[in-house]
Amino acid sequence: MDGARKPALGPLIASLLVAALGTGVVGVTYAWVGARLARRQVRDAADRAALRGFALWWLAMAATQALDAALDSAAALGSAGPGAVTIEGILERLLVASALAGLMVYLLYIVQGRLRLAAVGAFYLAYFTASLYAFHWRGPQGVHAGAWRVEAAFARPAPLPAEALLDLALLAPPVAGALAFGLAGRHAASLAQRARVAATSWGLLLWWVLTVASSSPQLLDASWLQAGALVVGLGTSLAILLSHAPPTWVLRRWAGRAEPVAR
């Protein structure tokens, strides 16, 4: 199949199955974090909507991890054909757009104090439409298998300007939002608030950059990067959950319960 590379037998199959297992564990953790955040009781309606957006980020990213684990397993077993790649590509783009919309609603609310549901929704609807068009235009044919993950293989490359614009739309808003959140929260009044700001802003920033970098076809065999993205994602999710819903002994140490949303 032109443009696609079928996974080889032996070590490659084993590494992809191990990667699928690790990705699945991370996905379960993301789902647990998202469910915990979604169940938090918040009185203020705007605070509650922002926190639900943050929960959507984790739940949608959990679903993308499940898709990635399924595709890795299918590639290892030699059954990742064009149909499976197309379905996975469509669902993943929808989930990523939804996740980023939830994240940006949360970050913008924290930084600006206002919900930007319509603007954020319109932006990520446009992003999803453009990324889906680019995906179909390139013609998915199968998978390009690295040692630790797989990506779709295409009949033709994306035009450089279009690819650059999509990458910018993917990276710039969450990176800028996380930086703004981190800078705005440096002078928070309590230790609990400062811990939440640090875990959310710098954790998300590092994790998102590593996640996007690890999806590059040129870096699929970089074991340190693939493992690092999973470990950082796992650590970030747990740190954020602890900062938003700390256990009792942490609350006693901090001498005060953290608010649901730090502003």
Q: What is the pLDDT of residue 232?
A: 80
Distance of alpha carbon 169 from alpha carbon 147, whole angstroms: 28
Which domains, and CATH codes, for the chain? 11-254 (1.20.1070.10)
Cα separations in angstroms, 218 against 121, 146, 247: 32, 9, 42
* pLDDT (tens digit per residue) in 153-192: 788 888 888 888 998 998 889 888 888 877 776 666 666 6
Please check the confidence at residue 7 and state whether its pLDDT lies above 50: no
Neighbouring residues of 181: CB distance < 8 A, sequence distance ≥ 6: 107, 110, 111, 197, 200, 201
Task: Output the pTM of the full model.
Answer: 0.79
* pLDDT (tens digit per residue) in 205-225: 887 788 777 777 666 667 777
Structure tokens at 188: 């928070």
Neighbouring residues of 88: CB distance < 8 A, sequence distance ≥ 6: 67, 70, 71, 152
Name the percent of the chain in helix, strand, coil, to the closest 5: 75, 5, 20
End-to-end C-alpha distance for the chain, whole angstroms: 53
